[in-house]
């Protein structure tokens, strides 16, 4: 099977996971949303498929989920998340391609940089999107939405993503990442 077909197939799988995973975490009302379930498959897509695929999947996943299931609310939530998740995919994918995935510090560098960059993009998107509605997006709202409320999801991503990236055999990673 050609590499582009493998990446396309994997990307579709990550999109499907992004659409379904919030149903599973939503069963834990206290922290379900705080686990940031759509972020996980986008970050994995970045490591395994690269920035192009992960960027596209990140952009369409929250929009598609909003249209299909009504959550997150399309405007401004899903639109803001589309920019955020697209940024995660592109930043993480670019850094993973440049640094490699053979060492844990390289995985964490790509992951943490993408998480910070994506949250900054989300904050900027919220300023613009809420500004269009005549509302304000404060720095306190940015800290609460991007970090405080998302803290369980951040911890989960920092634990789960490196474990999954390292768990895939090197041969499989090499086959997937070659173009």
Q: Please check whether residue 42 is in contact with residue 89, taking contact to mean a CB–CB distance below 8 angstroms.
A: yes
Q: Please check whether residue 83 is in contact with residue 122, taking contact to mean a CB–CB distance below 8 angstroms.
A: yes
Say what the pLDDT of residue 168 is: 80
CA-derived radius of gyration, the chain: 16
Collect contacts of 115-120 with beta carbons under 8 A, ≥24 apart.
115/88, 115/154, 115/157, 117/87, 117/88, 117/91, 118/84, 118/85, 118/87, 118/88, 118/91, 119/84, 119/146, 119/147, 119/150
Say what the pLDDT of residue 1 is: 55
How far apart are alpha carbons 24 and 91 in whole angstroms? 27
Domain architecture of the chain: domains with CATH: 3-177 (1.10.1760.20)
What are the mean pLDDT values of the chain's consecutive 10-residue runs (179 residues total)?
Answer: 85 97 84 89 97 98 96 94 98 97 95 98 96 93 93 96 87 53
Q: Which of 32, 58, 31, 23 is nearest to 43 (CA)?
A: 58
The verdict on whether omega for the bond into residue 173 sits within 30 degrees of 0, i.e. cis, is no
Say what the pLDDT of residue 30 is: 73
């Amino acid at each position: 099977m050609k590499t582009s077909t493998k990446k396309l197939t994997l990307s579709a799988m990550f999109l499907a996971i992004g659409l379904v995973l919030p149903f599973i975490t939503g069963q834990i009302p206290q922290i379900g949303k705080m686990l940031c379930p759509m972020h996980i498959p986008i970050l994995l897509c970045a490591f395994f498929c690269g920035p192009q695929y992960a960027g596209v999947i990140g952009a369409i996943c929250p929009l598609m989920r909003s249209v299909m299931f009504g959550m997150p609310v399309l405007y401004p939530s899903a639109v803001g998340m589309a920019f955020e998740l697209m940024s995660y995919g592109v930043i993480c994918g670019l850094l993973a391609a440049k640094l490699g995935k053979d060492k844990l510090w390289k995985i964490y560098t790509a992951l943490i940089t993408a998480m910070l960059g994506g949250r900054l993009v989300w904050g900027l998107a919220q300023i613009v999107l809420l500004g269009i509605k005549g509302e304000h997006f404060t720095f306190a709202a940015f800290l609460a939405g991007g970090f405080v409320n998302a803290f369980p999801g951040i911890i989960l991503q920092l634990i789960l993503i490196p474990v999954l990236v390292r768990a895939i055999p090197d041969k499989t990673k090499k086959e997937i990442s070659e173009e």
